[in-house]
């Protein structure tokens, strides 16, 4: 069964350091999402891609966060510099272009900032 792949699963870093997360969506899924899930809360959308184009990044803190999907396939989410409040699970999801909201999620990357 096709899955969304994410790495690393766990990342511990010190504040002010740079960190990057990688996501490989299900083959053929043109839409890719990055969500942030703070412990005890629901996921919040950071950025949505349609192929290589950003559709929605209104909730992405652009002073420190960046996301790219250069060839419209895999994607990287970067944080620089990391802050204590960035500790969270970063979830990647993908869907077909005509999705009715059925997203397929990866297992997530858990970030701890010390």
Partner 1 sequence: AQSVTQLDSQVPVFEEAPVELRCNYSSSVSVYLFWYVQYPNQGLQLLLKYLSGSTLVKGINGFEAEFNKSQTSFHLRKPSVHISDTAEYFCAVSDPYQGGKLIFGQGTELSVKP
Give yes or no for residue 27 binding partner 1 (CB under 8 A).
Answer: no
Using CB under 8 A as the binding criterion, the count of chain residues that bind partner 1 stands at: 26
CB 19 within 8 A of CB 111: yes
Q: Applying CB under 8 A, which of residues 16, 17, 41, 80 lies at the interface with partner 1?
A: 41
3-class DSSP state of 113: strand
d(CA 15, CA 17): 5
Which among 19-27, 40-48, 64-72, 75-83 is the span making contact with partner 1, rule CB under 8 A?
40-48
Does residue 14 belong to the site contacting partner 1 (CB under 8 A)? Answer: no
For partner 1, give the closer residue by CB, 18 or 55. Answer: 55
Which of 103, 112, 83 shows the shortest CA–CA distance to 30? 103
């Amino acid at each position: 069964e096709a899955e969304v792949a994410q790495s690393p699963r766990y990342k511990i870093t010190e504040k002010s350091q740079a960190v990057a997360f990688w996501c490989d969506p299900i083959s053929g899924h043109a839409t890719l999402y990055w969500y942030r899930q703070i412990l005890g809360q629901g996921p919040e959308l950071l950025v949505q891609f349609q192929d290589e184009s950003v559709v929605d990044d209104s909730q992405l803190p652009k002073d420190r966060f960046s996301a790219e999907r250069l060839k419209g396939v895999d994607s990287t989410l970067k944080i620089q510099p990391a802050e204590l409040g960035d500790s969270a699970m970063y979830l990647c999801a993908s869907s077909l272009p005509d999705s009715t909201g059925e997203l397929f999620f990866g297992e997530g990357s858990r970030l701890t900032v010390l």
